[in-house]
Amino acid sequence: MSSFQPGIFDKRFRDQVFLEYLMEDSDKARQTVKALLTLRAQYQDNAVITVAFGPALWRQLDGQVDFEAFSLDGRVPATQADLLVWVQAADRSHAFDVARAAHLTVSQAFRQQLEIDAFVYHDLRDLTGFVDGIGNPVGDKARLAALVPDGQPGAGGSFVLTQKWVHNLAAFEQLPVSEQENVFGRTKADAVEFDEERMPNDSHVGRTDVDRDGVPQKIWRRSVPYGGTLEHGSYFVAFCCEQSRLDYLLRRMFALNDDKVQDRLTQFSTPVNSSYWYAPPEEALAAM
């Protein structure tokens, strides 16, 4: 059995940095990623680094797992990149130190496309004030949702979707709390999910709590808020045992499925950046 990267499930750390890179020098890509993995081991007392690869780079490095670059029929900007570095650290100082060391290493072969300085907000809330992640599967079910099962290409790894969403909090906060709750399908203060009769079909949970061919479309979400007073939002991060499940959920949110209902959340937040990645298991990283 292969071992997943521990950062996927490790929720100890509140200070986080996400770095996205485009490959510039493909001859140096492998040795640069190996240097990043060495650095990951050096900093393991104060930080956990998770690495994931875009489809083109992973094809070059491994060739065993095929998956698609991000696309949603042009509905949201597709900004597929090649390398994702996710630093979770004990405090902001360590997050900075580790992210900077990772950046200096990675820059030998890659150009940075995006940097997100993220933080856990209050009691695991999104900046809208709603608890985010509470509906995640728990224990074995989390692993089943997040990891490619044994016997399949990429077993022990995980398909990842990341999206930078920019919130319009001013518009959202104009709604009375009862309407804000209708946007999400949960209560705001104590995060209780609406029952079936009360759940609006266009609410966020109404769009994303769904079965496909009898299979619940569960994913493992690790989204984190980012930003300051002028621009702020959520860096959506989700791990999944199959890429198509992530696409299925996005299609339901953006009215690209049969019932053509758009998630009301998209009136108040907009994705400006999206990529798919594969986060290989430790054995695949060690074999590089």
Residue tagged 């094809």 (tokens): 59
- To ligand HEM, the closest distance from the beta carbon of 233 in angstroms equals 6
Q: Which residue is nearest to ligand HEM (CB)?
A: 135
Which of 246, 279, 284, 285 contacts ligand HEM by CB under 6 A?
246
Show the binding pattern over residues 42-61: x = contacts ligand HEM (CB under 6 A), - = does not.
--------------------
The CA-to-CA distance between both ends of the chain, in Å, stands at 18
Q: Is 132 a catalytic residue?
A: yes
- To ligand HEM, the closest distance from the beta carbon of 281 in angstroms equals 23
Outline where DSSP puts E strands in the chain.
15-23, 47-53, 83-89, 110-119, 158-167, 211-212, 215-216, 220-221, 224-227, 232-240, 269-279
* Contacting ligand HEM within 193-212 (CB under 6 A): 204-205, 208-209
| Span interacting with ligand HEM, options 11-19, 47-55, 62-70, 233-241, rule CB under 6 A | 233-241
* Contacting ligand HEM within 136-165 (CB under 6 A): 161, 163, 165
Which of 40, 94, 164, 186 contacts ligand HEM by CB under 6 A?
186
Q: In angstroms, what CA-CA distances link 131 with 3, 124, 190, 239?
A: 29, 6, 8, 19
Q: Which of 132, 202, 247, 263 is catalytic?
A: 132
* Contacting ligand HEM within 96-135 (CB under 6 A): 126, 130-135
Q: 249 phi and psi, to 5 degrees?
A: -65, -40
Which of 159, 184, 220, 254 contacts ligand HEM by CB under 6 A?
184
State which residue, 103 or 221, has the beta carbon closest to ligand HEM: 221
Which of 16, 269, 273, 275 contacts ligand HEM by CB under 6 A?
269
Residue 40 burial (10 A CB sphere; 0-12, 13-18, 19+): buried
Cα angle vertex 210, ends 178, 69, to 5°? Answer: 110
Q: In angstroms, what CA-CA distances link 25 with 28, 57, 83, 183, 230?
A: 6, 11, 13, 45, 35
Cα angle vertex 225, ends 16, 114, to 5°? Answer: 65
Catalytic residues: 132
Interface residues with ligand HEM (CB under 6 A)?
126, 130-135, 161, 163, 165, 184, 186, 204-205, 208-209, 219, 221, 234, 236, 238, 246, 249-250, 269
